[in-house]
A and B are shown apart, each in its own frame.
Chain A
C-alpha cells in the first residue's frame, strides 16, 4: 500500500489542489527521494489523470508506478480543474497553468528537501511544463513531454478543434461529460485504449466538475507556438504516439532539433494515440519515461 497526502497551495486567491504519493511516508533525516512532478492536460484534472484507477484493469496509475520505483510523485489540479478552485477571472490558459506551477513547485521542494524536480507533462500539460521550465530553468532537472505540439502545423486534431474556436473564445469554460471523454479516446484510433477508461474518468471527474476551462484549447487553436525549445536548457524527452493527431511529426522534429541540451531523446511509440498513459500500450510509455528519468552518466 502506497503512502499519499493532499495539500492546498494558494496562488493569489486560487486554492490549488496538490496530491502526493510515494512508497512510504517520509521520515525526518531520511535521504531525499527523486521528485517527479506530473502536469495534466486540457480536460482531466491532475489526480484523475495520473492516479486513475480503472475497475478490472491494472497499472493505470502513473503515480503508483513511479512511487513503487522510488520516486516522490506529485501532481496538481490547475485552476478551474478537479479539486482546485476557480477564480472567475480569465480562462486558465497555458500561461496561467505555468503560474500555477510557479506557486506549487517551491512548496514541493520545501516539503521534500529536493533541489529540483523531474517534470512530465502531457498535451497542454507539456506546454505548461515547457513554459514553467523556461521561466525557472534551475528548478527542472529533466523534462519529459508527451502529446506535445509546437507550431501546430499539420495537426489534424487542432484543425478540427479550430472549428469551435469562436465558442471556446466566447466562454471561459466548456461542458464535459462521458461522451466528451469517449471522444478523446476515439478521435485518433479506436481500439488503442480500453472502453472502460473514459467511464473511469467520468466516474472520477464528474462528481467534481461539469465544465472545465477553455484557455488551453484557445491557446492551442490560436496562439501557437507558446513554448520556445531554444529556452529549455535541461535534458528533454519527447514521446510521440503513433496515432496522436495533436501534432504532425515534422513539427515535433523541428522542436527537437532546436532543443539546446545535448542529452535529448525523441521516442516514437507504436499503438499509442493521444493519451499514452491511458492506452493499452501504457507499459511502453512507462518504459520510455522511466528510462529517460533514470539516465546515468
Chain B
C-alpha cells in the first residue's frame, strides 16, 4: 500500500474539552480576490484529507481544496473525533451529534484564526447531517450550507435498508474495521463505473494511511435514529446535491426536506453520472462547478 503524505497546506490543532481535533487548511490564492472561507465536512468512512485533498497522478484538479483555493476561497477541513489524526481514545461511537460538536470547536478555531465571521459549509453523507445539525445549532456561523449525498428521514433508502441488516453489529461496538475492499464497495454498491480505478485506489491509499477502523456512531444514527435534523430550523441558504445514482436517500425524501427549508435562497441539483462519493468520481469537475456556483452567488441586496 502507498502511504500518503499531504503537502502544500497548514496543519492546525484545536481542543473540544480534552479531545484534540486536527484541522487542515489550504489558504486562498493571493492572486485573486478573496471569495470566502469554506469548511468541508467528511462522511462516515474516511477522514477529511482523503476526501477533500486527494492527489491522483494524471487527474487534474483532484483536490477540491486546491481548486477552490485557486478561486479565492480559504479552505479548511477537519477530522472529526475518532477519525484520521484527531483523538480516538474515548470509548464512544462518535455519532452525528458528537460530530456537530466537533464542528462547533473547529469553527471557533477557524473564525479566530481566519477572522471570518461566517463560513461556507459543505458536508457529504453523514458529514452533511453533521453540517446541517451544526447549522441548526449555530445559524449565526453559517453563511451558506451545501448538503451532498444527504438523507433526511431515510424513508425509501436502498443503502440504509441494506446497512440496517448489520445494525446489531454496529450497536455492539464503537468501531468497525475497514479495508481496501470496503472502499471499493462504496463505489460499487450503487452504480459501478462512476469512478475510475486509479482514483478509487488512491482514495483507498489515503484513507488507509490514516485509519484501519472507523467509528460506528454515524452508521447507527443513519440506520435507526433519522431524522436528526429539522429543515425548518435551518435558516442559511442551502444547496441539496443529489447524485443521480445515490442510494443513500430516495428523491422524495430529499424533495420533502427541500420544501421545508425556510430560506428563499435554496437550490436542488441533480448530478448526472454521480453515485455517493461525488468528489472521487469521473464527473467531479461538474460537482465543483455546481458547488462553486452556489457559493459564488451574489449576496441579495433587496430582501423584501
Q: Provided the pairs A265-B270, A284-B298, A295-B289 are in contact, do residues A257 and B303 lie with their beta carbons within 8 angstroms?
A: no
A270-B304 in contact (CB<8A): yes
The answer to whether A192 touches B304, judged by C-beta atoms less than 8 angstroms apart, is yes
Q: Given known contacts A265-B270, A267-B267, A268-B266, is B289 in contact with A281 (CB within 8 Å)?
A: no
How long is the Cα–Cα vector from A284 to B62 in the complex, in angstroms?
Answer: 29
By beta carbon, the residue of chain B nearest A284 is B298
Q: How far, in whole Å, are A250 and B256 apart by their CA atoms in the complex?
A: 10
Q: A265-B270, A291-B293 are in contact. Are A192 and B302 (CB under 8 A)?
A: yes
Q: Which residue of B lies closest to A268 (CB)?
A: B266
> B221 at the A/B interface (Cβ < 8 Å)?
no
Q: List 15 A-B contacts (CB under 8 A).
A: A257-B251, A262-B270, A263-B271, A264-B270, A265-B268, A268-B264, A268-B265, A270-B237, A270-B304, A271-B304, A279-B302, A281-B301, A284-B298, A296-B286, A297-B283
How many B residues touch the partner, as a band?
Answer: 20 to 34
B-facing mask of A279-297, CB < 8 A → 1, else 0? 1110110011001101111
With an 8 A cutoff between CB atoms, is A261 at the interface? yes
Q: Which chain A residue has the least Cβ–Cβ distance from B282?
A: A297
Return B198 CB to nearest CB of chain A, in Å.
18
C-alpha gap A294/B292 in the complex (Å): 12
Say whether B258 faces chain A, with CB atoms less than 8 Å apart. yes
Cross-chain contact B304 with A287 (CB below 8 angstroms): no
B171 within 8 A of A: no
17 A-B pairs besides A262-B244, A268-B264, A284-B300 with CB distance below 8 A are A191-B302, A253-B258, A257-B255, A261-B272, A262-B272, A265-B267, A266-B267, A266-B268, A268-B266, A270-B264, A270-B303, A271-B302, A281-B300, A283-B298, A291-B290, A297-B273, A297-B285
Interface positions, chain B 248-304, Cβ under 8 Å from A, are 251-252, 255, 258-259, 263-273, 283, 285-286, 289-290, 293, 296-298, 300-304
Question: How far apart are the CA atoms of A288 and B259 in the complex, in Å?
Answer: 19
- What distance in Å separates the Cβ of A250 from its nearest Cβ neighbour in chain B? 7
In the bound complex, what is the Cα–Cα distance between A281 and B302 (angstroms)? 7
CB within 8 Å for A242 and B267 given contacts A288-B293, A291-B289 = no
CA distance A192 to B269 in the complex (A): 26
> Which of A262, A281, A288 is most buried by chain B, counting CB atoms within 10 A of its CB?
A262
Quick one: closest B residue to A235, CB to CB?
Answer: B272
Bound Cα distance A250, B251 (Å): 14
The B-contacting residues of A in range 19-52, CB under 8 angstroms, are none
B302 near A243 (CB under 8 angstroms)?
no
Question: Contacts of B302 on A, CB cut-off 8 Å?
Answer: 191-192, 271, 279-281
Contact A265 B269 (CB under 8 A): yes
Residues of B within 8 A of A243 (CB): 304
Q: In the docked arrangement, what's the CA distance between A189 and B304, Å?
A: 7
B289–A262 CB distance below 8 A: no
Q: Known: A262-B244, A265-B270. Is A287-B286 also a contact (CB below 8 A)? A: no
Residues of A contacting B296 in the complex (Cβ-Cβ under 8 angstroms): 287
Q: Does A256 contact B (CB under 8 A)?
A: yes
Tell me whether A270 and B269 are in contact (CB under 8 A). Answer: no
A219 at the interface (CB under 8 A from B): no
Which B residues lie within 8 Å of A226 (CB)? none
Q: Find chain B residues with CB under 8 A from A266 CB.
A: 258, 267-269
Contact of A270 with B259 at beta-carbon distance under 8 Å, contacts A296-B285, A297-B285, A297-B286 already known? no
Distance, CA A21 to CA B120, complexed state (A): 37
With a cutoff of 8 Å between Cβ atoms, the chain A residues found around residue B297 in the complex are 284, 287-288
Judged by a CB distance under 8 angstroms, whether A141 is at the interface is: no
Q: Give chain B residues whose Cβ lies under 8 Å from the Cβ of A262.
A: 244, 270-273
Q: Which residues of A contact B303 (CB under 8 A)?
A: 270-271
Those 8 A-B pairs whose CB atoms lie nearest each other, nearest first: A291-B293, A262-B244, A270-B264, A242-B264, A263-B272, A266-B268, A271-B302, A262-B272
A254's closest neighbor in chain B, by CB?
B255
Chain B residues contacting A267 (CB-CB under 8 Å) are: 267
Distance in angstroms from B121 CB to nearest chain A CB is 19
Closest to A239 in B: B267
Q: Which residue of B lies closest to A236 (CB)?
A: B270
A269 interface residue per 8 A CB criterion: yes
